[in-house]
Amino acid sequence: LSPPFGPAAFYLKGVAPPGISLKDIFVSLLPFIAIQLVVLFGLLFFPDLAMWLV
């Protein structure tokens, strides 16, 4: 998946307020990962979608 979430999450933890835990950061990344997986499987099962907008 792109961008790499692990290093970006740790960088964000370094600049986040003390009340925000690393767990909160990773949980907030889950919707973005889910959207990427939906698009990936959509392109896998319907490859014509890749050329639809071109």
- pLDDT tens by residue, 3-45: 687 888 888 899 999 999 999 998 998 998 899 899 999 999 9
pLDDT number for residue 3? 66
pLDDT for 9 equals: 86
Structure tokens at 37: 């997986």
DSSP state of 1: -
Question: Between 17 and 2, whose confidence is greater?
Answer: 17
